[in-house]
Amino acid sequence: MNRAWLFFFVVWVSFLALAAPLRVGLKEAPPFSMKDAQGRWQGLAVELWESAAARLDLDYVYQERDLRGLLEGVAAGELDVAVGALTITAERERRFDFTSPFFATGLGIAVPDRPAGLGALLRGLWDVRLLWVLLALVGGVALVSGLVWRFERRDPRNPEGKDPRWSL
pTM: 0.54
Question: pLDDT tens for residues 48-101?
Answer: 999 999 998 889 999 999 999 999 999 999 999 999 888 888 999 999 988 888
Where do the H-state alpha helices sit in the chain?
A: 2-19, 44-56, 67-76, 90-95, 118-125, 128-152
CATH superfamily of 2-95: Periplasmic binding protein-like II (3.40.190.10)
- Label residue 46 exposed, middle or buried (CB < 10 Å: 0-12, 13-18, 19+): buried
**Contact 82/73 with Cβ under 8 angstroms?**
yes
Looking at residue 112, what is its pLDDT? 77
Sign (positive or negative) of CA dihedral 108, 111, 115, 119? negative
Residue bearing the bigger pLDDT, 155 or 116: 116
Question: pLDDT tens for residues 14-51?
Answer: 554 556 899 999 999 999 999 999 999 999 999 999 99
